[in-house]
Amino acid sequence: MHSVSVKDLSLSFGPVEVLQKLDIDINDGEFLVLLGSSGCGKSTLLNCIAGLLDITDGQIFIKGRNVTWDEPSQRGIGMVFQSYALYPQMSVEGNLSFGLKNAKMPAAEISKRVGRAAEILQIGPLLKRKPAALSGGQRQRVAIGRALVRDVDVFLFDEPLSNLDAKLRADLRVELKQLHRQLKNTMIYVTHDQVEAMTLADRIAIMRDGSIQQLAKPDEIYNRPVNRYVADFIGSPSMNFMQGSIGAKGLTIGDVTLSIDGYKSATKLAKDDVIVGVRPEHVATGNDVADAVYCTKVTADLLEPMGADTLVWTKFAGHEMRFRMDGQVRLEEGQEVEIGLSPENLHLFDKVTEERL
Amino acid sequence: MADLAFKDACGPRPKKAFTLPNFIIYTTLTLLAIYYLAPLYVMIVTSLKTMPEVRLGNVFSLPQEVTIEPWIKAWATACTGLNCDGLSRGFWNSVQILVPSVVLSIAVASVNGYALAFWRFKGANLLFTILLFGAFIPYQVMLYPIVMILRDIGLYGDVWGLVIVHSIFGMPILTLLFRNYFSSLPEELFKAARVDGAGFWRILIRVLLPMSAPIVVVAIILQVTGIWNDFLFGVVYTRPESYPMTVQLNNIVNSTFGEKEYNVNMAATILTGLVPLVVYFVSGKLFVRGIAAGAVKG
Ligand SMILES: Nc1ncnc2c1ncn2[C@@H]1O[C@H](COP(=O)(O)OP(=O)(O)O)[C@@H](O)[C@H]1O
Ligand SMILES: [Mg+2]
């Protein structure tokens, strides 16, 4: 049985179609990340699942029950918001117990649950404080606690970490992952940060303009993006794209021709113009060049040292290209470097539809 | 050279000495302050003079012999055409009109504003537009129709009739005030409360109203001053025995027996203005903050 199923869901604000016929099935205990750039409809989808927005068409099932017209509190979901949305006039304890009091739960049970949530999230000493007296990370824990005490089936997170500074974000990311291991709840997590998505997700749904481009495991999305948009979106620094064409001798990019025998294509490759993608980290350098199918020398036009790696900007076959080198290798701008390409590391997309070939 | 330049400018910025623009600004401000405060000064000194001294006609001179007799008379014994118990009667009438009007209008307007800001029901915008339109209808147009309505429901001449009238006329501006304030609160807070299972009333009472102190203060000030200073509705919709303080003041000042007692009239006028004045002084700062909070987002 699926934990959450969204069937044929559409939502319009007046004439604007924000979500278009979405279908998603989320497994029990799965951590699903909705990833997409700002304004693509991630929060809207999450709000629909939560019941905070009335949908235009379609159905939503949670734990096999049709909840399309249920109130948010009856859906067995808990939600954590980007702005934390803690009730400012209530103490942490008041914030945690508000939902339980609304459900008219006996006081003993409330204090038991609040105690347990406080223990899991390590916010016991903060229970008497007001939200204003908490740090950003502590506030976010309380916001998670508010969902936790209600003992819900599904956790919904709307960019819960994006108001925190980078270091804290990384820490809380790990904590969230551990929390998921511990609770084993279904979690739906909205973010525009691909690092969060890759590290947390069991599966990622890449959204664009209210539709889902690809719904797959993180490594599948990274290694076999279904179209150019996904390929461009995932990976940092992002993929290099070049114009190419497939002919009898293989793939031609500008004045370069290389064999594509090792390329695992979805369909039989026809002789046609294509878009060639290669990730900066998949351009072979140093000792790896020897194993590459095609190798050549290029000039390092510009260097961006990043510590562990150095990003090198160059021209390859008439196209701007970036590739990654070991940060320890000494290199000067203007110097020549040997690089290599292999067909299994290339991504080919149809020039017109931009779909993966 | 470089060091010297460094040393030249160090520490706190030196205070600008007396400059011409400053002189002009402060002179203007002082003159304006005097202009606005002069009538108050005249009222206060006159109210503390005896009648023989008032007759001398030196309105700006300080009293030679300070007396509080006029104040006592204004409060307790001054006569209107009908009775001779001064302003005290009008004061208590005004309080009886003011308190329920303020409470009722704010209670209703806060619910209106809340519903318009968060529960976007069908026709909400139309309703809001109509309500705003109500703010521009001149009172005079409504005066007589309301008399007829109040008579029909049996509240004409009753204090409660006036309370209802005040509440209705305060509604457009108060609703606007509350709606804008609530719209400026984060919507996620409202969503969180819904996920937590709170309904329409619980969200308002437990979550939103506790954070609405600034706007409630603004609403109280607007209503207290507006209703306290009202004359027209008071005179039209109540009977003489329940006239509010402003009407009572008018009747005392305009009573035609004997000579005009300017000292008593001045004292009576200050007494009548005291309530709004106190409200402003006590809550001026909160008022500005509340207006600003409501004005940020429309
Ligand atoms: N209440 C609303 N009325 C009209 N348009 C809205 C409303 N809420 C969101 N939108 C639009 O829907 C789109 C998706 O918004 P949202 O789901 O918030 O995006 P995000 O992926 O950044 O979370 C945006 O283009 C936004 O302008
Ligand atoms: Mg969003």
What is the mean pLDDT of each successive set of 10 residues along chain A, which is 357 residues long? 92 92 95 95 96 94 94 94 92 96 95 94 94 92 94 94 90 93 95 94 96 96 95 94 91 90 80 92 92 92 92 93 92 92 92 92
Domain boundaries A240-350, corresponding CATH code = 2.40.50.140
pLDDT above 70: percentage of residues in chain B: 92
> Same structural domain for residues B235 and B190?
yes
pLDDT digits (tens, 9 = 90+) for B89-99: 899 999 999 99
The domain tally of chain B equals 2
Q: What is the pLDDT of residue B163?
A: 95
Query: Ligand 1, atom 9: nearest CA belongs to which residue?
Result: A44
pLDDT band with cut points at 50, 70 and 90 for residue B292: low
Q: How would you classify residue A41: left for phi > 0, otherwise alpha for psi between -120 and 50, otherwise beta? A: left
B239 at interface of A, judged by CB pairs closer than 8 A: no
Q: Distances from the Cα of B121 to the Cαs of A54, B125, B192, B203, in angstroms?
A: 12, 9, 19, 17
The boundaries of the domain holding residue B58 are 16-67
Q: Is residue B43 assigned to a domain?
A: yes
Q: Return residue ranges of chain A for CATH 3.40.50.300.
A: 2-232
Task: Extract long-range pairs of B42-46: CB within 8 Å, 24+ residues apart.
Answer: B42/B266, B43/B266, B43/B269, B43/B270, B44/B266, B44/B270, B46/B262, B46/B263, B46/B266
- Evaluate whether residue B78 is within a structural domain: no
Strand partners, A339: A285, A296
pLDDT at residue A39 in the model: 92
In a domain, B81, yes or no: no
Q: Which chain A residue is nearest to residue B193, measuring alpha carbons?
A: A99
Q: How far is CA B163 from CA B94, B113, B144, B206, B222, in A?
A: 11, 20, 17, 28, 15
Q: Has residue B117 been placed in a domain? A: yes
CATH H superfamily, domain A2-232: P-loop containing nucleotide triphosphate hydrolases (3.40.50.300)
Same domain flag for B61 and B194: no
Rounded mean pLDDT, B86-113: 94
Task: Quote the CA–CA distance of B140 and B2 in Å, as a whole number.
Answer: 75
What's the rounded mean pLDDT across residues B7-35? 85
Range B81-95 average pLDDT: 87
CB nearest to B197's CB, from A81, A86, A103: A103
Say yes or no for a CB contact (<8 Å) between A79 and B202.
Answer: no
Confidence of residue B6 (pLDDT cuts 50, 70, 90): low
Residues with CB under 6 A from ligand 1: A 13, 16, 18, 36, 38-44
Specify the amino acid at residue B181.
Y
Q: Is the dihedral of CA A330, A195, A220, A253 positive or negative?
A: negative
Confidence of residue B4 (pLDDT cuts 50, 70, 90): low
Quickly state the pLDDT bin for B132 (edges 50, 70, 90): confident
**Same domain, residue pair B168 and B33:** no
Between the CA of A39 and the centroid of ligand 2 the distance, in Å, is 7
Residues forming CATH 2.40.50.140 domain(s) in chain A? 240-350
Ranking A29-33, B2-6, B17-21 by mean pLDDT, the lowest is: B2-6
Q: The CATH number of the domain where B256 resides is what?
A: 1.10.3720.10
B129 and B270 share a domain?
yes
Average the pLDDT over B36-42 and give the result: 93
Query: Considering CB atoms only, which of A47, A88, A102 is closest to B197?
Result: A102
Chain A nearest C-alpha distance from B209 (Å): 10
The CA distance from B4 to B289, in Å, is: 46
Kindly state whether residues B131 and B241 are assigned to the same domain.
Answer: yes
| Closest-CA distance of chain A to residue B243, Å | 42
Residue in A closest to B198 by C-alpha: A102
In the reported structure, the alpha carbon of residue A51 is separated from the centroid of ligand 1 by a whole-number distance in angstroms of 16
Q: Quote the pTM value.
A: 0.86
Regarding whether B61 and B202 lie in a shared domain, the answer is no
**Nearest-10 crossing angle of helices B262-295, B245-253:** 150
ipTM: 0.89
User: Closest Cα to residue B196, out of A54, A183, A94?
Assistant: A94
Q: Give the span between the Cα atoms of B59 and B44, in whole angstroms.
A: 10
Same domain, B45 and B126: no
**A26 CB-contact burial (10 Å; exposed 0-12 / middle 13-18 / buried 19+):** buried
How many of the other CB atoms lie within 10 Å of CB of A48?
A: 24
